[in-house]
Chains A and B, each alone.
Chain A
């Protein structure tokens, strides 16, 4: 008798747990997010994390005030009976090896249905290779190295514009300035030497040559540099008209400080996003780089606009404006969630098919993209960048004219 009672209880418990795990699968959709939460880019990574957590809130809770934004008005994913999104963050520690290990862990142990990441292009390379091997969709919201989408991967998608588009935007901008009478003959490129910096540097160099600019100097340097005086002295000696910096946060801070210490500035200083957009760079060094030209896809826009509303929500949470890489990270998550919802399934193959069919319009995205639509390589063909300038401690969109919120002020003022 006693044993029978025990067996019945056991069966009941087993049935209960099976039932609940079945229900649980309905209720949450696990997505992995691999970001630098420690290491030299930890600051930028944690801001991206905060932006994506805001995205989870927008998806899982009802936000009818965010008109046009897919999944905002409803609770959870309506295509999956209101299932909630669960983001599982993993720390890539700033190294490609850790990024790869975390991708494997998220896929095999956490059983995520898709991955997002990994900020640094060099880490996206290894992490996405792991996703490809396991047949799990990988969306990179922010890694711009050109070759990421040239690997023939079937499970890889990228929402951000790529290095080539960015370089073209810089050249258009510079040509317009030159036509306006600014002296622009020589360009110097200073880049950190991992995948990201190398990729941007090579396309900027290529585009510059195509547009008749003389690239006088290319200085690759290790991103974990403890001292950048020799680089700045090299620049000072060659004195190019334009200097393009491709840097992560720690090195960006060192360049800003050292250029002031050694008293050198070009007529136009361009910083390619990344470190220069990290809110902790803007806070610590914004006053040393007045007039710095940058690129951006996210701009808070007018009050009442979708991006403006998102920025307000973020600012309430974090105390700072939503920066561009974090804004792009948020857009990556929203794009992926919209596809999962449309797939109506957590089957990776169905999510992959839904991602391929993504067709978001400009008014449905929080970044300044013209929309999201992937080509056969997984690249968003509607991504776009605008040029911003550091004015009074904040980046203001200044080019192209139709998206500008302020006048371009040249030459570069610095400190």
Chain B
């Protein structure tokens, strides 16, 4: 295998880990409460601007912007839950879709208003030069984003499966009434899910900002990938999002390199359709 091909695959894997990270927030909310958050991409956008503001305002890199974005977005998530989602969940399905979609537009146009339509980027090389390993060039921000992405997904998975909080959240998602009888307050658990999901999305956004451009509509571009990742991996499954993210990253890179960038989406969607054909619940979703 040629070195270039290895470089393509490594690039795809790192990209895939980031895809997985920002898809995990979306899948978590679906798994918890069967709500599709159409504002998910705009949460990422918000986190990217946070990273940008942290840099211009106080000169802080990811070490400062990642925790700040995580906390800010977790707060935004909880607010969204209490002010919007909790109410629209009582309405018909359409109200839920339009509700989060409206939230997406609200966030997007607020960003237009606050930051203007200019593209922004964080200074290039703020994390130092690329690593060169055996002829492979690995860009520091992408390595950081991929690495942290994997760790956060793992933590998210552990929280959901190994902690009391995770068990309570699972209980609420399976049968809210029964959980309530057992003394668990569904609203608290759902708010916690929004905090966790939005917080993870905040981390993803702050990391993506280190190697991607930021603009008010960047969420639109990224949201599509998140939706494909989530449905491929299985709605509600965090490990599924990881596998699907990595798969999409590599397939995208390889097909762009070997066949042509115009066709990469075709290949990704063929894969997508095939998987859903044989496993409609997604790779790791529950049937």
Q: Chain A interface (Cβ within 8 Å of chain B)?
A: 37-40, 42-43, 45-46, 193, 219-222, 224-231, 233-234, 236-237, 249-250, 253-254, 257, 260-263, 278-281, 283-285, 287-288, 415
Contact = CB atoms under 8 A, between A and B. Distances in A.
A193 B216 contact: no
A272 B262 CA distance: 20
B262 A284 contact: no
A88 B256 CA distance: 41
A40 B212 CA distance: 14
Residue among B7, B8, B121, B211 with the most chain A CB within 10 A? B121
Contacts of A220: 260-262
Given A226-B15, A280-B118, 19 more contacts: A42-B215, A43-B215, A46-B116, A221-B256, A221-B260, A222-B262, A224-B221, A226-B221, A226-B225, A229-B15, A229-B253, A230-B11, A230-B253, A233-B8, A250-B119, A257-B121, A257-B211, A262-B7, A284-B119
A257 to B, nearest CB: 6
Contacts of A288: 124
B119 A225 contact: no
Nearest to B122: A284
A121 B215 CA distance: 22
Contacts of B124: 257, 260, 285, 287-288, 415
Interface string B230-270: 00000000000000000000001110110011101100000
B257 A234 contact: yes
A230 B8 contact: yes
Contacts of A193: 262
Contacts of A253: 119, 121, 213
A382 to B, nearest CB: 32
Nearest to A236: B4
11 contacts: A40-B217, A42-B117, A45-B117, A220-B262, A227-B252, A237-B4, A249-B119, A253-B121, A280-B119, A280-B120, A284-B119
Interface string B203-219: 00000000111011110
B117 A38 contact: yes
B216 A38 contact: yes
Residue among B8, B124, B261 with the most chain A CB within 10 A? B261
Contacts of B262: 193, 220-222
Contacts of B8: 229-230, 233
Contacts of B118: 43, 279-280, 283
Contacts, number: 111
A46 B112 CA distance: 11
Grouping DSSP codes into helix (H, G, I), strand (E, B) and loop, the A interface class, with mixed when no group exceeds half, is: helix
A278 B220 CA distance: 21
Contacts of B60: none
Nearest to B208: A226
A256 B137 CA distance: 16
Interface in B118-135: 118-121, 124, 130
Nearest to A254: B213
A345 to B, nearest CB: 36
A40 B221 contact: yes
Given A219-B260, A219-B261, A220-B262, A278 B119 contact: yes
The 8 residue pairs across chains A and B that have the minimum distance between CB atoms: A221-B261, A230-B256, A230-B257, A42-B117, A280-B118, A284-B121, A261-B139, A280-B119
Contact of B15 (A224, A227, A283): A227
A130 B120 CA distance: 35
Nearest to A193: B262
Interface string B21-65: 000000000000000000000000000000000000000000000
A250 B118 CA distance: 10
A24 B142 CA distance: 58
A263 B125 CA distance: 13
